[in-house]
Structure 1
Amino acid sequence: MTQKQMVLPAEQPVAMRTGGGVSAFLRKVWAIFLKEVRAEIRGKEVFSTMIVFGLLGALIFGMAFDLRVPNSSMVVPGILWVVILFAGVLGLNRSFGAEVDRGTLAGLLMAPMDRSAIYFGKLAANMLFMLLMEVLLLPVLLILFDVSLFHPMVLAGLLLGTLGYTGVGTLFAALTANSRARETMLPILLLPVVLPVFTAGSALTAGAIDGQLASSLWRWLGILALYDLLFVVIAYLVFDLIWDTA
């Protein structure tokens, strides 16, 4: 029996897959989150890949711009967000890809729970891995460029930007999971959609480094928050449909 044949049909009542109640839903989200974290601790597939790429990317950019840019603060915001962007793609590709490779995705989808719990559990795990990578990346950029990014507005922007990025990325990772070309398809689909996140994040980071007024920085934070709200809600609404039409 193939994975597509094992997926629950759309007409099956949602009540059969849920446990009823918000607390039950949150427990299932937490269970998926713990499953992802434990799998990463055992296999070290997602976080280790992201952190190695992130640190290497920062080092390469550091060497490339060291002798060519008189004011390194001009390039640090772009470097930070570009490294986050591409390191994140590597991790997101494994979010559902690992389940497909192990042959466990169909079993996960047949579990007696609302499938949106799978989305939020994996979103939380992906966000955790991304934030840990960013925590390690900031000191490296400080050493390479002598520019501190430990500014409250920068950190808030990273939090909101990472939420938006992983929110959309987790959805698209599910969408491309069964594709043989998922490593290529995911960035092609994802990058245009998350462009506003990285535009706002880079502008916010640059403004914080330059000491711009808080009012202008709050505008960029507002854009990130609005993006998060819009796309996470959309992802929640359509996540179940991905598998029903697969």
Structure 2
Amino acid sequence: MALRFRPAGVPGEVSGARARGARVSAPRVRATHRAPSYFADAWRIARKDLLIEYRTRSAFLAATVFAVLAVVIFRFTWDPTAIPAMDLAPGVLWVIFTFSGLLGLNRSFGLELAERAYDGLLASQVSREAIFTGKVIANLVFVLCVQTLALPAVALFFDLPVGPSWGIIVAIVLLASLGLSAVGTLFAAIASNTRLAELLLPMMTLPFFVPLVIPAAQATAVVLRGQPIAEGMAWLKVLLAFDLVFVFACIMVFPFTIEE
């Protein structure tokens, strides 16, 4: 009688074991990596953009020079006898914040498109929402850095009493800057695929900046005049409402504005 040997691990052995009632465990596959979270991806993208800007500093220097020059021009063309500083300074402050931020938004996607890195980013497993959030964080940090230099300059040149109300002004600036960064990032992504990105970006963003800048400037004026903060709460509520609407709307719309 000839004996036939079956190599171990073949299907016949498994089926034989099942026929004998033995318990066969399925092979285990060890996970080699864990999918990164949404916020981890967003932070990596923001960190990458901030490191690029830190090494070059081109957009930051351009925005800072623009902010300082704008403050000087407004100061020396201002007639103190015609318009009080408390009435002029809030508008000057937010005009400078708005246009200096546009200089940084132009570079949100420009460098990646030039080096074809944006295609690799879209081909990765990073969600579109995480890409947008990371870009917004980087732009928000950029805008806040410029505002950190512009706000003391405006307070110095226009002799504004910002000391007692510094915390409230910072809160207003943070709220408005978040909305400006979200809207600007969305339209920077749309304009980056066109030939006239530098021209189209201000044309598309400025109409949407108005609902954010007006309540921010009005609330800032109330604080600088020394009025009770309750008188500016209506403007703060409007600013917060537009922030929520713009941020969530931009997150939802962004995946449809980019193509691989």
Does TM, scored on the shorter chain, surpass 0.5? Answer: yes
Asked whether the equivalents of residues 138 and 149 of structure 1 are also in contact (C-alpha less than 8 Å), the reply is: no
Letter matched to residue 209 of structure 2: V
* Pick aligned residue for 1:28 from 36, 41, 46: 41
Q: Deviations over 1:16-52 (max 9, x none)?
A: xxx76xx711110110011011111112132222111
Which SS does the other structure have where 1:148 is aligned? coil
CA distance in 2: counterparts of 1:70 and 1:176, whole angstroms: 38
Task: Write the deviation string for residues 85-134 of structure 1: whole angstroms up to 9, x where unpaired.
Answer: 11111110111122222322211211211011111111001101111111
Structure 2 residue identity aligned to 1:90: L
Alignment correspondent of 1:141: 154
Pick the structure with more helix per residue: 1
- Structural RMSD (CA): 1.7
State how many pairs are aligned.
225
Q: Which residue of 2 aligns with 1:215?
A: 230
Which residue of structure 2 lines up, in the alignment, with residue 128 of structure 1?
141
Report the TM-score, using the length of structure 2 for normalisation. 0.82
In the alignment, which residue of structure 2 is the partner of 1:157?
Answer: 172
1:58 counterpart residue number: 71
* 2:136/2:185 contact within 8 Å kept: yes
- For structure 1, the residue ranges without an aligned partner over 5 or more in a row are 1-18
> Is the partner of 1:180 in helix, strand or coil?
coil
Within-5 A mapping of 1:72-111: 72-111=85-124
Larger CA Rg, structure 1 vs 2: 2
Q: Mark the runs of 5 or more structure 2 residues left unpaired by the alignment.
A: 1-33
Helix, strand or coil for the counterpart of 1:65? coil
Structure 1 SS opposite 2:209? helix
1:132-157 Cα shifts (integer Å, max 9, x gaps): 11111111112211013452322211
Give distance in 2, aligned partners of 1:79 and 1:92.
20
Report sequence identity in percent.
35
The 1:45–1:210 alpha-carbon spacing in structure 2 relative to 1, beyond 3 Å, is same
**Mapped contact 2:222–2:229 kept (Cα < 8 A):** no
Paired with 2:131 and 2:81, the residues of 1 have a C-alpha distance of 46
Tell me how far apart the structure 1 counterparts of residues 81 and 115 of structure 2 sit (CA, whole Å): 47
Name the counterpart of 1:13. none
Provide the C-alpha distance between the structure 2 equivalents of 1:68 and 1:175, rounded to a whole number of angstroms: 45
**What code does the residue aligned with 1:180 have?**
R
Q: Distance in 2 between matches of 1:154 and 1:44?
A: 27
User: How much has 1:70 moved relative to structure 2?
Assistant: 4.9
Question: Which residue is equivalent to 1:197?
Answer: 212
Is the CA contact 1:153–1:217 (under 8 Å) kept in the aligned structure 2?
no
Q: Which secondary structure state, in structure 1, belongs to the residue aligned with residue 108 of structure 2?
A: helix
- Which residue does the alignment assign to 1:166? 181
**Paired residues of 2:75 and 2:157 also in contact (CA < 8 A):** yes
TM-score by length of 1: 0.86
Sort the Cα spacing of 1:33 and 1:64 in 2 relative to 1 into closer, same or farther, 3 A.
Answer: same
1:71 aligns with 2:84: yes
Q: What secondary structure sits across from 1:137 in the alignment?
A: helix
Note if contact 2:53-2:60 (Cα within 8 Å) is conserved in structure 1: yes
